[in-house]
Amino acid sequence: MKKAKAHFPKIRPIAYEGPKSANALSFKHYNPDEVIDGKTTTAHLRFSIAYWHAFRGVGSDPFGPGTIVRPWEKGTDAVSIARIRMDAAFEFFQKIRAPFWCFHDRDIAPEGRTLAQSNRNLDRLVDHAKDHQKATGVKLLWGTANLFSNRRYMCGASTNPDAHVFAYAAAQVKKALDVTQQLGGENYVFWGGREGYETLLNTNLRREQDHLAAFLHMAVDYAKSISFKGQFLIEPKPKEPTKHQYDFDVASGIAFLRTYGLEKHFKFNIETNHATLAGHTFAHEIEVAAAAGMLGSIDANAGDELLGWDTDQFNTNVRELTLAMISILRAGGLGSGGLNFDAKLRRPSIDPEDLFHAHIGGMDAYALAFKLARRILADGKLEQFVANRYASYDAGYGRDIAQRRLGFRELNKLVLTKLGEPKPCSGRQEYLENLLAQYLANGA
Ligand code: XUL
Ligand code: CO
């Protein structure tokens, strides 16, 4: 591929300089090439850059248009601009040392007047992405389709009351699956977008859920027919843009998938800010998915403690991330998933350099959390405490309960004749919080 002009000329590839470095444009904890358990840190953490925020985000909000004006966004032909934007994006992926990227179809190529035109635009940018992937080694973590921005989707895509819109969405996802496969995408994400409702006065909830399930079954069938090997992921979110989204959280997602016989084909892409919008902690959502063997990938971000909407901020809360990492590592990792920065700059952060500061902070926080979680698990104190707490189920009548070999009659007899009153035992929460604080303070 021809060497393109540099879009971040003043910024050199970000290097690991250690926790004491005064260079803001260096990693303090993320040491990409460090080998841990036979794998580089890059291979463990599988960081990914979200195209829509990093390269399509302009800082607009309900009170005003964008504030972020990128120097490469010049010209009149939308496809040519999209190509240059992609050049800038791949330069960024390399300089920030991210091994993966993610996109929605409409992030990378402009929507045309017809679906056929949109597909042609997409093909041109997919060819360009293929060249960039080959030249840089950056890979596609997942692809997806934007089924929420265009006005045709204002009442949903697969849950739209109009079958015409369902059909259009199906055609769009077919193409998004084709291009995700062409780019070697390791997963494909379904975020419900506008799959939900604003008012039951105009909504048949049962029919909408049936249609959503029909759509996902069609996606599974189509993926099989083209031998797409990527993992399908559902990304739950309780609200926004609609008041009530069908994939509310991981637990309701699991129930939905099992109700419609889809559970074998899907795992979960868990987003931190979506977890908190649902009234859960990030780690809770990870644990629920892991318990069902359905932990897939992470959309790494954070909300704001004082705001009740999806602020998609970069997460530098090492405590929260360490707890999440403990759950991820306990579950055996993310497999084909990764840590995708579904996070955006604040509206006044208008310089290209801010993109670097934001991602450096997010990557460093995760890298530190990864190391801390490994230490905590290796030390075993926490694991041992929890194991001891449930030890009464490991033998005797406790084991018989867990293995469902006893019923109410037998247990009734046991309590009346032998066991009597249980002896309460402290949960030791404060002790455990202090232990965690000590690990955090001592560093990795
Ligand atoms: C929206 C969101 C999406 C998905 C992909 O809140 O998280 O960007 O990650 O459609
Ligand atoms: Co997301």
pLDDT tens digit sequence for 171-228: 999 999 999 999 999 999 999 999 999 999 999 999 999 999 999 999 999 999 999 9
**Ligand 1 centre from 144 Cα, in Å?**
9
User: Is 80's pLDDT higher than 90?
Assistant: yes
Helix (H) or strand (E) holding 363: helix 352-379
Q: Which of 102, 103, 237 has most ligand 1 atoms within 8 Å of CB, for mutation?
A: 237
Count Cβ atoms within 10 A of the Cβ of residue 187 and give its class: 0-12 exposed, 13-18 middle, 19 or more buried: buried
Q: Which ligand is nearest to the CA of 192?
A: 1
Active site residue 104: yes
Q: What is the mean pLDDT of residues 360-367?
A: 98
pTM of the model: 0.98
Annotated catalytic residue: which of 104, 211, 284, 359? 104
Q: What share of the chain is helix, strand, coil (3-state, %, to 5)?
A: 50, 10, 40
Q: How confident is the model at residue 158 (pLDDT cuts 50, 70, 90)?
A: very high
Q: Mean pLDDT across the chain, nearest whole number?
A: 98
**Ligand 1 centre from 8 Cα, in Å?**
27
Q: Which ligand is nearest to the CA of 105?
A: 1
Q: What is d(CA 329, CA 286) in angstroms, rounded to the nearest whole number?
A: 11
Q: Which of 101, 109, 116 is nearest to 81 (CA)?
A: 109
Annotated catalytic residue: which of 105, 107, 247, 342? 107
User: Is 2's pLDDT higher than 70?
Assistant: no
Q: Which ligand is nearest to the CA of 148?
A: 1
Residue with the nearest Cα to atom 2 of ligand 1? 191
Our answer on whether the CB atom of 16 is closer than 6 Å to any ligand 1 atom is no
Q: How confident is the model at residue 110 (pLDDT cuts 50, 70, 90)?
A: very high
Reported as half-sphere exposure (CB side, CA atoms, 13 A), residue 222 has a value of 18
Q: Which atom of ligand 1 lies closest to the CA of 240?
A: 6
- CB atoms under 10 Å from CB of 216, counted, come to 21
Q: Which of 60, 155, 43, 154 is nearest to 98 (CA)?
A: 43
Our answer on whether the CB atom of 189 is closer than 6 Å to any ligand 1 atom is yes
Q: How confident is the model at residue 432 (pLDDT cuts 50, 70, 90)?
A: very high
Active site residue 357: no
Q: Which atom of ligand 1 lies closest to the CA of 269?
A: 9
- Our measurement of the distance from residue 186's CA atom to the centroid of its chain's CA atoms, rounded to an integer in Å, reads 13
Polymer length of the chain: 444
Q: What is the mean pLDDT of residues 150-167?
A: 98
- CB atoms under 10 Å from CB of 396, counted, come to 9
